[in-house]
Each structure stands twice: as structure tokens, then as C-alpha cells.
Amino acid sequence: MKERYFLLITGLLVSILAVIWMVPIYALVTTSLKTQEEVALQKYLDLPRNPQFSNFGKAFNALKIGLRNSLVISLSATFLCIFVGSLAGYALTGFNFRFATPLFFLIVVVTFLPYHVILIPITQFLKTLGLLNSYAGLILIYVVLNAPMATLITGTFFMKIPPELEEAAILDGCKPFRYYLRILVPVSLPGLISATILVFIQIYNEFLLGIALTRGPDVKPVMPFLAELKGTQIAQWHIQMAGAAITSVIPVLVFIFLGRYFISGLMAGYGKG
Amino acid sequence: MRYYKFQGFAFLIPILVIIGIFYAMIIWDVFAAFTHWQGLQPTWRFAGLYNFLRLFQMSRFWVNLRNNLLWLLLFIAPTFLTGFVLAYLITNLGRGEAILRQIFLFPMALSFIITGVLWAWMYDPSSGVINSVLKAFGFNTSKLGWIALPKTAIYCMIVAAFWQYLGFALVIYLGAIKGIPYEMVEAAKVDGASHWTVAFRIIFPNLGHATLICTTMLAITTVKVFDLVWVMTRGGPGVSTEILPYLMYRLAFDSRDLGMGAATSIVILLFSAAMVIPYSLWALNKWVRT
Amino acid sequence: MRKFVNLGITLLFGVLFLGLVGIALAQEKENEFIIFHYWTAGGEKEAIDALFELYQKRNPGVKIVENPVAGGGGETMLAVLMSNLAAGMPPDSFQDHQGNQQKDYIDAGYLEPVDDIWAEANFEARINPMWVKTLKFGGHVYSVPINAHRTNWLWYNKKIFDELGIKPPETYDELLEACKKIKEAKPDISPLALGTREKVWSTYLYDMVLLTTGGPDFYEQANTGKIDFRNDPTFRKAMERYAALIPYIYPWHATKSWDEAGALLKTGEAAMYWMGDWVLGYYLSIGMQPKVDFSATAIPKDIWMGHADTFPLPKGAPHPNNARDWIRMCTTPEAQKAFNLIKGSVTIVNDVPPDVYPDPYRQRSAHDLRTLRAVCDGFHGGMITPAFGSELMDILTRFLVDQDVDAAIQAIAEAAERTNLAEACSWFWEQ
């Protein structure tokens, strides 16, 4: 009885929290459907009088090249980051290298640097490689900037894997890469997915490098386009909010897609019922 | 696996290359911090500690440092603790995890340049969402300036970042809880343990790796909230919400003083390293090495 | 699992392929014109597009590569430009302002003189002498201005003014009077709107009090650091006048951007707004009618204050002939007219008659620009250095909260010393 009472209160609490969490999104959606005049009134709780779905059309038109570019860049860079990062994380935790711990810390420290200050060497680096204003260049930079974080997260998750699993694999004559692919990854899927989510978000939502390393719209990611929607000496908040709704679709789809793999994993744990 | 150490080392090569590139740029940055690079032209005249001295003499720097510490203290702990509690409650409920996960994770799908504006609208004192709701409940909101007042502005921003990142902490803990053996919890429940005990005496201590990741990621975020500060207040009113990464950007680009900007970034690195390394060592020893 | 790996390998190859394509794209095409700017949406975009159209007609074979750089009214563009220039990859032109904003590029050796283009077009004779003063460095000019935004406009809610019988203010004292009258009659609304989410607008009021307290010569001296901030009595008086306005300013300005603050005239929460002429376009787009809902007056009425957007010529531009032709085109009345009619500013050349503008405010602005004494505004106009401006903004937004005149004066003096303001602005006086 007490348990049911607890579940009821929990359910209520969590639902209320979820509703509160959506309130800023409410402001986003209502603004995206207003006219410029309505937005100027700055009554953010009010509903639009005459929903302007054309805002979404205008925003999409401006964003579509960026969406294509971001899909290519973010998905590739995220995949490479997680791949490189988890391999490195496995190498650091599963092989008892003596230099593992100091290397691990070198990696951690690097993730704390705000990259804006090294914008100039980054530009020079890509220019030397001839990769400015190209998909490969942007992907390369995003991988360089985010793989350390991927290593950090996956490595920490891998540390939790019981060594018996590994010993059993060795006894079976399993080579490292196979172990990685067939056992380690499936078992730590929730951890890998969390890392993927975070890295994808960092790359997709990144704004400064997307502008600085591109010229013209050919390979420019979507965030710079989104920033442009508002205008400098004008104020088209309604179009920009519609654009924000559109650009958030891709990460949400990624979250949903990854969410399917969240449950799997070989450890029969508490949350699996 | 010792026999396969060579293969293991091969796995490290990509990240070693990446770290190499990164540290090469950091070395560039260190050099720049010791030069007289003021203005747009790269200037490599050695300046000793000139930039650092000027930086430490700015009272603004110390305000920034204080703000960074506030972020560390007030953003990290509430976020991961709430994330854990929420993960525990949702796991307990047994249903609705998928949809709840998406709801709390959604804020992360938005860029800071949007959440900054959204929360500026939430906090708008005349007709923003928060004050409108409070007014509807009969509260007097005439003194509630939120981000308009230097005293409260920074806390408002921390709340906005909390809103955005709770989902991440939630997801990490949801995943980690799934790794807790069912029997452990069952045994405790049979012994009559309350939810509080189960959550904090049994489950939480076994989630050391998740907590380590959460706290480290959130600490890294306090360095990355640059976009949020930029869009929401530009560090204002005055410099009350400015944080070191933003100061770095302003010095490097707005004031065209890359020497000082680089010096600030070195301070950020040292500060972070001093914080993170002892903490991780302690956490690793305590929680992970079983 | 296998599916995942397959997906990954496909992506990898896809990436490599696209990377090669990207490298092909990245090669400099032969006949291009690369230009950076931040007119990214709506009317401002249409204005620059009009210029592009004109340019395309003159140069049909050239591919225009525009690089809009959004964010903070130029803040992001500076970072992008700096890294491009430092890496040895200048664009063919970019959007810049004048004075100290441009001087940094010149000092770094990134710009090339365009004295010949000015001479060809007889440009110097066709513009207000103030522009020459702020665009000539050591006897050379490096850019061509395309427009003139007037910033000493006071926009006001006409209905409130008519109701209370207030005459549109043309001096500081009249402004303060109007504030008091409005506050008395309507205590619920703020007489003066202001938006400091982007802190730069706090310097606009600063410019106004300097100008109205000491006159244009004092204004120029103060902004170029030629006065003793701590002890100058006129400066103190100006700051006290600023402080006197604060009780009448919208209290929550730190939460509003410039457009949200301007819109307060529409929501009825404020009565007056001190802002540049671009807010006219905004008011029109939100359904306010000129001379019915709002109108504008200039303070002081005998000075034209504002700034211009300019296009400089970078040194080592990849397509110098295309760049020079763009700059040449911008000196023509045709180009100036095409751009400014849409943009909401006025032409900087005096040979376009004021009656081409559909609204009375720009007609007056154009007329005033060719007849009155003019000054450049502080931050955007490059009277102060960006470094000093950055600190000034912090000081003023703090001042708006604590109203401490002594602390502000002290802080401004220190900032001027720390950033070597007087020395950095010495070029202005060595004309």
C-alpha cells in the first residue's frame, strides 16, 4: 500500500516537472507562429492570434542548405569521434599500460580549453592542409576538438566492466578488436550512447567554427544559418524561432534513434525489470 | 591481453595524433600569452609576464573568477543530484521512461544561442513567462528583475543551464542504474529498506563512474557556457555575469588584445587542471577501481 | 551490431568522398568576388542584394561569393576576419565602420589605399567633411562608405505627446523636462526606453550627454581621450546629466535587446526612445504609423551624429580588380541610392536629392547631412577605440544600476589610461 502511494506521488511529481520543463518550449513554439507585430508586443505567455505557418516555410528555405551540410558533417564527425574515442578508451583501460593514467589526464585537461582563443592556429592548420571550406576540413576539426571528450566518457564507462569478462574472452582466444566489437561495445551501449548524444550535440550546435572555417553556403552548417535568421539591424525573432524548431528536429531524431539501443546490454540490471 | 599489447597501442594512435595537434595549438596559445600581441597583426615580441600581471590587476578578472566558482558550486551538484534522483524515480515507475527521457533531453537539442534568448524571455520582468505566471497567482512582481539585476542575474543563468543539462545527467544515470544487479536491490528491499536508503546507500555509491562522468562533463560545461552568457546578457549588467571564457573572447577579439586573451585561456587551463586532476584521482580511487 | 558497423564504414567512405569533393570546392575559383558582411535577413539583406545586382550587371562574368557572418552586430565577424587575415586569406572586401574601428586593420598592414578611386570619383568633395576626417589616416583613405546612419534621433510616442501637450525636445533640458512631465502624468510608464542586453546602446546615451553638454568640439575631444576625465568640469557635468536621466529610464533595460526596447513604445510601457534610424524600418514592420503613432526629433537639432558602413580594400585580396570595381561602384550615386532606399539609412554622397526618400525622417537626415556640422558616434563610428569601448560599456551598464557618478568617472579615467586612448586616437588630430 505504501509502495503504491509512493508510486502515485512519484508519478505526479515527475509529470509536473516534465510540464515545467516544456514551458520554455511553449514560448518557442508560440513565438514561431506569431507575426512580427505580435512578437513586438512581448507578451510571451499569449497564444498567436493567427498562426503564421508560413514562418516555417521561410525559415526552412533559408536553412535547407545548412541542414544538409550539418547532417553530413555532424553525423560523420560524431561517428569518427566515438569510434576513435572508444578505441582509445578501451586501450587506456584494458591493457594496463603504465602511461595510461598520465595520458588520460592529458586528455582530460585538453577538454577544458575554450577553443575560441585558438581560432587563429586552427584556421592556419586547415589552410596548410588545403581543407578550408570543405566537409573534410570541418569534420577533421570537430573530431580533433571532441574526440578527447569521447575518450574520457567511454574510458570511464569501460573501467566499470568487470575484468572477468575480458579474461573469459582471452581464454576463448579472442583478439582485441574482436573483443571490442563483439563484447565491449554491446555491453557498454548505454555509456556509448550517452557519449554519442553529448558529442553530437556539441558538434551540431557549434557556431563559431562553422562560420570561421567556411566561405559561402556550400559547406556551412545549420547553426550559422540559424543565427542569421534574426538579422542584425532588424529583428525577425518569429522566423528564427521557427528555424530553431526546425533545426531541433535532427537532434531529436538522433535521440529517438539512439534511445532504441539504450535498453540493450548484456548485464541484467535493476532497471530492466 | 598482454600478448595483444601491440594491437592495444595501435588503438591509441588516432587519439595520440589528435592530442598532438591539440597540444601544438595549446603551445601556440602559451607563446601568445607571453607576447606583446595587441592589435590585429600577429606580434611575437616577448613580453614576459606583462599580460598576466595586467590581467590580475583588473578587478574585473577577480569578478570573473568568482563567477566561475559560483558556477562550479551551484551548477554541478544540483544538476547531477537531481539527475540521479529523477533517474531513480523514473526507473521505479517502470513506465514512460522513453517519453520522459525525450522530454528532459529535448533542451539539449537546442543551441545555447536559442536557449539564451528563450530564457531572456522567460525572465523578462514585465511580461515574461515567469513573472506573468507569478502575477496570475497574485504575487507582486514589480521588484523581481531577475537578469536585470546584478545580484540575481548569475543565478538566473545557472538555472537556464540547469534546464538544458539535466537531461544529460538523467540519461547517464538511467543507463548506469541499469547496470546495478537486481539482486542487490531486492535484498535490501526484503530487509525493509526505504526508498531513500536504497537510492542513496545502495545504488548511488555503486554509480561512481556515472557520477564521475557527470561531474566532469558539467565542469567542462561551465567553461563552454560562453554562448549562453553571450546571448543572454553579454556578461552584464556591468560584468556581473561574465565568466572567464567570455572574458577571454572579449579581450582577444573585442579589445583586440590577443596577448591578454591567451593569458586568460592559460589561467583557465591551469585552474581547470588544478581542479580536475586531484578530484579525478580521488574519485577514481574511491569509486571505480574495485 | 553488424548493421551499425556497416553504417559506420559507409559513412567513412562517404566522408572521404565528400572530403575530396570539398577540396575541389575549396580551390579558389578564378573570377569571384568574396565579401564578408552581417546584413543577414529581411530588409538589410534586400539592400545588399540590390548592390549585388548592380555589381553583377557591371561585371556579368564574376561569381559573387557572399559570406554573411551573423552574431552580435559584428563581434563574430571580427573573430572570423582576424583569423582569415592572420592566415593570409583576406576576402575581397568586408563590411567595416570608420575611425578607430578601421585603424586596427590599417595598423596591422591589412588594408590598401584607395586614394585613386576617391580622386576619380571626386569623392571628397561630395561628402560631409566629417567623413573625410574619420576615414583618412596619415593622408590616405582605405575604404569607401556606402551609407550614413543617423543616430541622434529621439523617437517618441506621438499620442502621448499630443495628449500631454509636450513639444518634441531638441535639447537636453527639453528632454529632461519631457521626462519629468511624462513621469508625473503617467507614473506607470517609463519616459525613456533603453535596451542593454547588448551593452553597446549604453554608449549612445553617453555620446548624447557629451554632445549636448560640451558641444561638438568637446565631444570629439572627450571621445578621443584628449580631456582629463577625472578633473574636467564639463565631463563631470555630462555624467551628472546622464545620472539625472536614469530615474526616468526603463528599469529593466538589461533584459531587452534594442528592438524589444523600441517596441516598448508600441506596448505602451515607454514614451521615448533614443536610437538610430534603423529603428524606423522596425517600427514600420510592426505596424506603427509615422506621424500617427510615432515621430522623431533630433537632439541637438543643429548637429548630425551617426556612422557609416564602409567597404575597405584588403591587401592581397584574391581578386583585386573585382574588389576595386566594387569599391568604385559604391562611390556612384546610383549604387548609393539603390542600397540606401531599401536599407533605411541615407546616402553618404550629397548629390542625391533628399526627396528620393519616402519618409520625412530620412529626408531631414539627408538634408541635415549636407548642411550641418557632423560628428561620428563613439563606438560604431570609431571615435573611441574598440578596446576602450569594450570597457566603457561595462562601466556604463554598471553606472545605470548604481548611479554613482564618481565611481563611473574614476573607472572611465582608468580605462582610458589602461587602453592608451589618447595615444591611440592621436591620428584623428594629426589631419
pLDDT at A156: 85
The pLDDT-based confidence of B3 (bands split at 50, 70, 90) is: low
| Lookup: cell for C219 | 565631444
Cα dist from B49 to B31, B32, B33, B36, B269, whole Å: 11, 11, 8, 10, 17
The Cα–Cα gap between B130 and B108 comes to 21
Beta-strand pair C270-275/C190-193: parallel
DSSP code per residue over C72-126: GGGHHHHHHHHHHHHTT---SEE-B-STHHHHHHHHTT-B---HHHHHHTTGGGG
pLDDT tens digits, one per residue of C97-110: 999 999 999 999 99
Sort out which chain A residues have CB atoms less than 8 A from B124's CB and list them: 42, 44
With a pLDDT cut of 70, the percent of chain A lying above it is: 96
- Count the residues in chain A: 273
> Quick one: closest CA in C to B144, which residue?
C252
**Among candidate residues C235, B245, C104, the one with its CA nearest the CA of residue A115:** B245
Range A92-115 average pLDDT:
85
Amino acid identity at B143: K
> Quick one: closest CA in A to C86, which residue?
A120
pLDDT-wise least confident of A9-23, A82-96, C109-123 = A82-96
pLDDT at C10: 64
The Cα–Cα gap between C204 and C200 comes to 7
Angle at A263 between CA B11 and CA B220, to 5 degrees: 55
Asked whether the predicted pLDDT for residue C23 surpasses 60, the reply is no
- Of the residues B56, B256, B258, the best mutation for testing chain C's interface (the one with the most C CB atoms within 10 Å of its CB) is B256
Neighbours of C359 (CB within 10 A): 16
Superfamily of chain region B60-289: MetI-like (1.10.3720.10)
| Lookup: cell for B36 | 606583446
pTM of the model: 0.91
Contact B253 C401 (CB under 8 A): no
The Cα–Cα gap between B215 and C208 comes to 49
> A182 in contact with C at a CB cutoff of 8 Å?
yes
Sort out which chain A residues have CB atoms less than 8 A from B195's CB and list them: 6
Sort out which chain B residues have CB atoms less than 8 A from C419's CB and list them: 255
| Lookup: cell for C403 | 548611479
pLDDT at B286: 65
Beta-strand pair C303-307/C149-150: antiparallel
Identify the helix (H) or strand (E) that includes residue C58. Answer: helix C42-58
Asked whether the predicted pLDDT for residue B115 surpasses 90, the reply is yes
The Cα–Cα gap between C300 and C302 comes to 6
Contact C254 B147 (CB under 8 A): yes
pLDDT at A269: 52
The Cα–Cα gap between C278 and C43 comes to 10
| Lookup: cell for A113 | 580549453
Range C270-287 average pLDDT:
93
Q: Please report, for chain B, the start and end positions of each structural domain, with discontinuous segments joined by +.
A: 60-289
pLDDT at A191: 83
The Cα–Cα gap between B88 and B83 comes to 9
> B272 in contact with A at a CB cutoff of 8 Å?
yes
Give the distance from CA B45 to its chain's centroid: 35
Q: SS3 letters for A76-105?
A: HHHHHHHHHHHHHHHHHHHCCCCCHHHHHH
With a pLDDT cut of 70, the percent of chain C lying above it is: 93
Sort out which chain A residues have CB atoms less than 8 A from C68's CB and list them: 228
> Quick one: closest CA in C to A127, which residue?
C87
Mean pLDDT of chain B: 87
Beta-strand pair C93-94/C32-37: parallel
> Quick one: closest CA in A to B277, which residue?
A105
pLDDT-wise least confident of B116-120, B171-175, C318-322 = B171-175
How far does the CA of residue C109 sit from the closest CA of chain B (Å)?
A: 8
Cα dist from C86 to B41, B45, C160, C181, C377, whole Å: 7, 16, 53, 55, 29
| Lookup: cell for B127 | 511580461
With a pLDDT cut of 70, the percent of chain B lying above it is: 97
The contacts of residue B127 (CB under 8 Å, 6+ apart) are A42, A43, A44, A45, C267
| Lookup: cell for A149 | 571528450
The pLDDT-based confidence of C14 (bands split at 50, 70, 90) is: low
pLDDT tens digits, one per residue of C319-335: 999 999 999 999 999 99
Sort out which chain A residues have CB atoms less than 8 A from B113's CB and list them: 207, 223, 226-227
Bigger pLDDT: B184 or A73?
A73
The Cα–Cα gap between C171 and C183 comes to 18
The Cα–Cα gap between A234 and A206 comes to 24
The Cα–Cα gap between B115 and C265 comes to 26
pLDDT tens digits, one per residue of B49-106: 999 999 999 889 999 999 999 999 999 999 999 999 999 888 888 778 888 989 999 9
Cα dist from B125 to A235, B132, C350, whole Å: 20, 9, 45
pLDDT at A1: 67
Asked whether the predicted pLDDT for residue B163 surpasses 80, the reply is yes
SS3 (DSSP) at A46: coil
How far does the CA of residue B165 sit from the closest CA of chain A (Å)?
A: 10
| Lookup: cell for C399 | 553606472
Asked whether the predicted pLDDT for residue C3 surpasses 70, the reply is no
Contact C255 B146 (CB under 8 A): yes
Q: Which residues 237-256 on chain B approach chain A with CB closer than 8 angstroms? A: 245, 248-249, 252-253
The Cα–Cα gap between A119 and C248 comes to 43
Cα dist from A105 to A100, A148, B281, whole Å: 9, 10, 10
Cα dist from B248 to B56, B61, B226, C80, whole Å: 13, 10, 10, 16
pLDDT-wise least confident of B169-183, C35-49, C380-394 = B169-183
Identify the helix (H) or strand (E) that includes residue C136. Answer: strand C136-137
Among the partner-chain residues A133, A228, A230, the one whose CB lies closest to the CB of C26 is: A133
Give the distance from CA C298 to its chain's centroid: 17
Mean pLDDT of chain A: 87
Identify the helix (H) or strand (E) that includes residue C68. Answer: strand C63-68
Range C300-321 average pLDDT:
94
pLDDT tens digits, one per residue of C261-273: 999 999 999 999 9
pLDDT tens digits, one per residue of B12-47: 999 999 999 999 999 999 999 999 888 888 888 888
Q: Which residues 87-126 on chain A approach chain C with CB closer than 8 angstroms? A: 116, 119-120, 122-124
pLDDT at A268: 46
Beta-carbon-side half-sphere exposure of residue C13 (alpha carbons within 13 Å): 5
> B255 in contact with C at a CB cutoff of 8 Å?
yes
The Cα–Cα gap between C103 and A99 comes to 51
Sort out which chain C residues have CB atoms less than 8 A from B250's CB and list them: 390
Q: Is A70 exposed, middle or buried (0-12, 13-18, 19+ CB in 10 A)?
A: buried
The Cα–Cα gap between A9 and A14 comes to 9
pLDDT at C18: 61
> Quick one: closest CA in C to A130, which residue?
C23
With a pLDDT cut of 90, the percent of chain C lying above it is: 84
Asked whether the predicted pLDDT for residue B8 surpasses 90, the reply is no
- Of the residues C5, C27, C83, the best mutation for testing chain A's interface (the one with the most A CB atoms within 10 Å of its CB) is C83
Q: Which residues 148-177 on chain A approach chain C with CB closer than 8 angstroms? A: none
Range C33-48 average pLDDT:
92
Name beta bridge partners: C272.
C156, C192
**Among candidate residues A228, A217, A222, A229, the one with its CA nearest the CA of residue A204:** A222
Contact B256 C196 (CB under 8 A): no
Among the partner-chain residues A177, A205, A262, the one whose CB lies closest to the CB of B7 is: A177
The contacts of residue C28 (CB under 8 Å, 6+ apart) are C318
Q: Which residues of C touch B (CB under 8 A)?
A: 72, 75, 78-79, 82, 85-86, 104-105, 107-110, 196-199, 251-256, 267, 269, 386-387, 390-391, 394-395, 397-398, 400-401, 418-419
Sort out which chain A residues have CB atoms less than 8 A from B22's CB and list them: 110, 113, 144-145, 148
Phi and psi, residue C99, nearest 5°: 60, -135
Q: SS3 letters for chain B?
A: CHHHHHHHHHHHHHHHHHHHHHHHHHHHHHHHHCECCCCCCCCCCECCCHHHHHHHHCHHHHHHHHHHHHHHHHHHHHHHHHHHHHHHHHHHHCCCHHHHHHHHHHHHHCCHHHHHHHHHHHCCCCCCHHHHHHHHCCCCCCCCCHHHCHHHHHHHHHHHHHHHHHHHHHHHHHHHHCCCEHHHHHHHHHCCCCHHHHHHHHHHHHHHHHHHHHHHHHHHHHHHCHHHHHHHCCCCCCCCCCCHHHHHHHHHHHCCCHHHHHHHHHHHHHHHHHHHHHHHHHHHHHHHCC
Asked whether the predicted pLDDT for residue C20 surpasses 60, the reply is no
pLDDT at A267: 46
The class level of CATH for A54-269 reads mainly alpha
Q: Which residues 123-142 on chain B approach chain C with CB closer than 8 angstroms? A: 123-128
Q: Please report, for chain A, the start and end positions of each structural domain, with discontinuous segments joined by +.
A: 2-40, 54-269
Mean pLDDT of chain C: 91
Question: Do A189 and A34 touch, CB atoms closer than 8 A?
Answer: no
Asked whether the predicted pLDDT for residue C426 surpasses 70, the reply is yes
